[in-house]
Structure formats: structure tokens, C-alpha cells
A and B are shown apart, each in its own frame.
Chain A
């Protein structure tokens, strides 16, 4: 998927700086701010809504809110374009 409109909600007060979300993101949406020991959601438009970052976060500091309508299957019938 490209140019999606998924949202990632982040609750910094819950984050303990474990880096698991940063490691789990396989599409480089999440970068790491070493100074503040917090994730930076830098390329959210590339999010694939895999929920991996949310799954590995033991402190529930992340919530992925998918916008499925922003993903396109690109079939030829307008219903699925």
C-alpha cells in the first residue's frame, strides 16, 4: 500500500523507551529519538496497518487506527478501484 491514511495514536506518558515498536516496524514508519528515548512516527503515510508495533508494546502506549478506505486493491471494476 502507498499513501495510506492510517493513524497512529501515541501516549508518551506510558512509554518506557524499550524500542520494541521501532524494531517491530518493518516498513520504516517508526524512527527512534535517542535523546528522549521515544519513538518518532516519521513516515505514517507508509503504515501497512499490520498492528505489529501495538502488539509488542507491553505498556499499551500505541494505538493503530486503520483507515481501510485509503488502501486500494486496484481491480478494474470501480467498486474495487
Chain B
């Protein structure tokens, strides 16, 4: 069947209508009011993404009390494990108040004290947080509309077009009727989120299709091995329990948190996941949480969150969960958060004119170091990282200039992308996308494969990934909904392959990255970033030294 093909053009194409994409669109229009900015979104911009489905928490730094350099020292040692770009982290902290003021000026309701200061809740000696309502993305969409940003909802981007090593456009299709759009643009901003393999509910929008499109176009990836985030959840409702790692007990009633935690940390560490696995394999499971007297205290904090829009959303989730959760038995839920698109400090990928912001490039930017994408041990950094990257990206585009004319689009390239895109609809018989996804999920989810890693276990998982890769070449779809699922399944195969092949290379443990067979951190050999690239259809690997010598915080050997 032939689908209608429509040519679309714009100056700047933003792919993804979550908090990152919307913030970037607004910021570009503020800086370059004459620019024609188009946001395309697979579902509905302002409703998509993760910012409006989680805690609505913004990280806050009291810059009169904590200097950015002090937070950097803590982060590099306790979280990033020397793999982070310290220059970028310093900038992220320094811009904290600018970001909050921007969100406020775009109509986001940041709660304030009677004296006009933000209502801030301390979370530790260095950090604090501000709770915002979950209509945050809708407010930013409205601001974007006011400034003249154009929107195409229900439009899924499948491929990025490159002409003479410059990004020139994208191929997309309507998930409603299959219409194909060939979009030409002077600059492209990817804001498509991380790879989460459709395992965790609130994380389910991140299906890695933007990562895969960037990879296929030839963009380099970095820190792909830090795409293995897992969280403790209640075993029945699968509702996550933030900070639950501080209250873990085994079936014998022993306080097992003491086995891996000397003092309370900023957030869950992969050691908590390892501890759960060790308890289970030694017959001491199941694992329960016991909050003792602190439970009431944490409930009291919840009551302070006066957020009318988000309250109903949270209450519905909590009450439905409470109906099935009879106790506090927990187990890990694999989430992923792979975010490997490599960008420079102006958020440009290794392809000229292609930018990547937010959860698609969090690890790839090297900002956080050896930890998966937000909430990766730095609560409240998810939304603000996306806003940070958006502002930096807009600044970078303004500095470079939008350009006078759009790069020409290569028709042959377009035809090739289109025939691949619609192939599952043409195929009468083939694998269902969900068969492929199920196999990938089984390769990724068991935490002894993906979080507490060992060569043999990873190789076994990789075998399953290769099987899924073969099946993915022969998928069929009966409608556009299934077609989208096929594209996502291909992206999941790619992410999983990268995850395991890069993890096998890193023969050490560092930060969140934990190997049973290489338990020590190896600064001599592994103060390096692993770079992945598509070279003529082959996945190729190289390493880059982390330039710690030029940054303020250095490892002590």
C-alpha cells in the first residue's frame, strides 16, 4: 500500500515534546524570534515524556551556602567516579537559579514563601529540592505556542537525514494514518528520551528510537554501559520505593542494608541491587523493607506537596497499589535509562547540525559520569538536566547561527529510509514486534545479567539479543500502531547490543557499574570513555581518555 508523502520544512526541527524539547523550542524562540521552529512528537507534546509522571522534583542549590565547586567535589567522588565532564557539571550547578527563573517565567508554578523566595526542602548537606506540579510540560507547551512554535503531534520520527556530513532533515510518519513526512531543516534537536525497554510503567515513554536514529545516521555514542538503572519496587504493584535501600531486611530479620551502606547516601546505589541478588541466591529471601518510625516522617513530607494537578494522579496510583500490596516485600525492577548520544558542551552531536538534549544524551554528554540517566543518584536532576541542556543547546545554535538555507536532501537516502520504514507493513508473514521486545526484556531485566554483571552471564544475555536482532529483520505489522512498535523493537535491540558489548569491554567496577568478575576500580586502564559508532552497518568501538588532568577534581591513587 502506498502512503501519502508530504514535504515539510522548517528552520529548526525539535524531535520530542517532553520537558527538554519544549524548553529548547521556547529558548530558541526567545533568542531567535524569527526562527521557524517545529516540534514533532510521537504522542502529544506537553503530555509526553517523563517530567509529568514522576515526583515533579527540581534539584535546588543554595549558591550562597554551597559553592558549585563543593558540589562538584562531592559528585565526582561519590557519584560520577571521575568519569564526568567537570566543566559541564560546574555549569549545570551554576545555572540552577537561572533555570528555575526561566521555568517560572514560562508559567510553571514554583511554590514560593510569603517573602517571595522559592519554597525549598533540604535533602542533604549540599542539595535541596523544589516540588512542582505535574502540569509543568503543559505550561511550557503553552509558552511555546504563544511564541509561535509549530507542533505536529502523533508524528513519529524514524530516521535522520544527513547530506555531506551535515544533518539535513528527518523522515517521520503519522501514527494515526501512516502518512509520511519528509522534513527538511537547517538544524535538528533530538529530545526523544532514554531507552527503558518498556519494562517500568512511568519510564515507558523512553523506547530509544531517537538513540537508534542518531546511531544509524552515524552519530557517536558514549557511556552506553551506564544504561542499567534499576530501582527497588513493591513486588505486587511494582510501585517504586525511593530511598527504600536504607531499610532492607532479609527473611531471617537481619538488617542487610548494613552489608553495603555505611551511611545514608544521596540515592540508591547498585550495591543495593547486588545485595538483594546475593540474599536471594543464598536462600535468605525474600527481602522486605521496615521503615520503623521513619515511615511517618516521610509521609509528613508528602503532605507538604500541595500540587492540585499531580495529586489526583498520585492518589490514583497509590490507592490502586495499596489494594494489592499486603506487605513491604521488594525486588528490583530493571529500568535502563540508557542515554548515550555523544554531544559536546554545546549539545551538538558528532554530526554537524544535529543536537541532542535531555535523556537521549545524558550519559553521552558525560555530565553525570559513571551513573545512569536521572534519577541516577542525584534526585531532581532529571527535569533540570533537560532544561539545562535545552538552554545550552539554544545558546549554541544562536552562536553558530541558524544558517541561510536548508541543506539539500538526498532523494535516494529518503527512498531508502521510506522503504525500510514501511517494510513491516508490506510483509505478509513475520515476527510480531512484541516477540522481539519480549526477548530483549528477558535479556535485560534479570539484574545478575545487567546490573551485577559477570562475563558468562552477559554473554548469555547477548546471545538472546542476537537472536532478537535476527528476528527484528523480519517483523510484520498490520497497522501503524504495530509499525511504531516495530521501530521501537529495532531500537531496543540496538540499545541492548550496545549495552552488553560495551559492558563486556569495561573490565572494572566504577560508580554504578558493577562487575562480579572485576570488583575493583581500575584508574590505570579505565579512566576512559567507550565510544560506539555505526561504521557501514558494523558496530565499532574505541576509547577516549577522560581528561581529568585539566579539571579541578583528580583521583587520588
Q: State the A residues within 8 Å of B (CB).
A: 1-3, 22-28, 31, 42-43, 48-52, 54-55, 64, 66, 68, 71, 73-77, 79-80
A2-B198, A28-B481 known; A73 vs B204 contact (CB < 8 Å): no
Report Cα–Cα, A22/B176, bound state, in Å. 12
Report Cα–Cα, A62/B313, bound state, in Å. 13
Which stretch from B90-98, B234-242, B504-512 is at the chain A interface? B234-242
Given A28-B484, A51-B313, A71-B238, 19 new contacts (CB under 8 A):
A1-B201, A2-B437, A2-B438, A23-B153, A24-B47, A27-B43, A27-B205, A42-B481, A43-B481, A50-B204, A51-B320, A68-B238, A73-B235, A73-B238, A73-B331, A73-B334, A74-B441, A77-B331, A80-B331
| Residue ID in chain B nearest A31 by CB atoms | B176
| Residue ID in chain B nearest A3 by CB atoms | B434
* Contact of B333 with A by CB under 8 A: yes
**Contacting residues, chain A, for B333 (C-beta < 8 A):** 73
* Contact of B402 with A by CB under 8 A: no
Chain A at the B interface: SS class: loop
| Residue ID in chain A nearest B44 by CB atoms | A23
Report Cα–Cα, A43/B478, bound state, in Å. 13
Report Cα–Cα, A41/B317, bound state, in Å. 20
| Residue ID in chain B nearest A65 by CB atoms | B320
Does A55 contact B48, Cβ atoms closer than 8 Å?
Answer: no
* Contact of B423 with A by CB under 8 A: no
Q: B446's contact among A49, A66, A68, A74, by CB below 8 Å, is which?
A: A74
**Contacting residues, chain A, for B555 (C-beta < 8 A):** none
**Contacting residues, chain B, for A50 (C-beta < 8 A):** 53, 201-202, 204, 317
Does B198 contact A1, Cβ atoms closer than 8 Å?
Answer: yes
* Contact of B175 with A by CB under 8 A: yes
* Contact of B445 with A by CB under 8 A: yes
**Contacting residues, chain A, for B446 (C-beta < 8 A):** 74-76
Does A73 contact B445, Cβ atoms closer than 8 Å?
Answer: yes
Q: Can you name 5 A-B pairs with beta carbons within 8 Å?
A: A1-B199, A26-B49, A55-B313, A73-B332, A75-B446
**Contacting residues, chain A, for B445 (C-beta < 8 A):** 73-75
Does A74 contact B199, Cβ atoms closer than 8 Å?
Answer: yes
| Residue ID in chain B nearest A43 by CB atoms | B481
Report Cα–Cα, A2/B250, bound state, in Å. 31
* Contact code string B319-342 (vs A, CB < 8 Å = 1, else 0): 011001000000111100000000
Pairs A-B, 4 closest by C-beta atoms: A74-B445, A51-B316, A23-B44, A55-B313
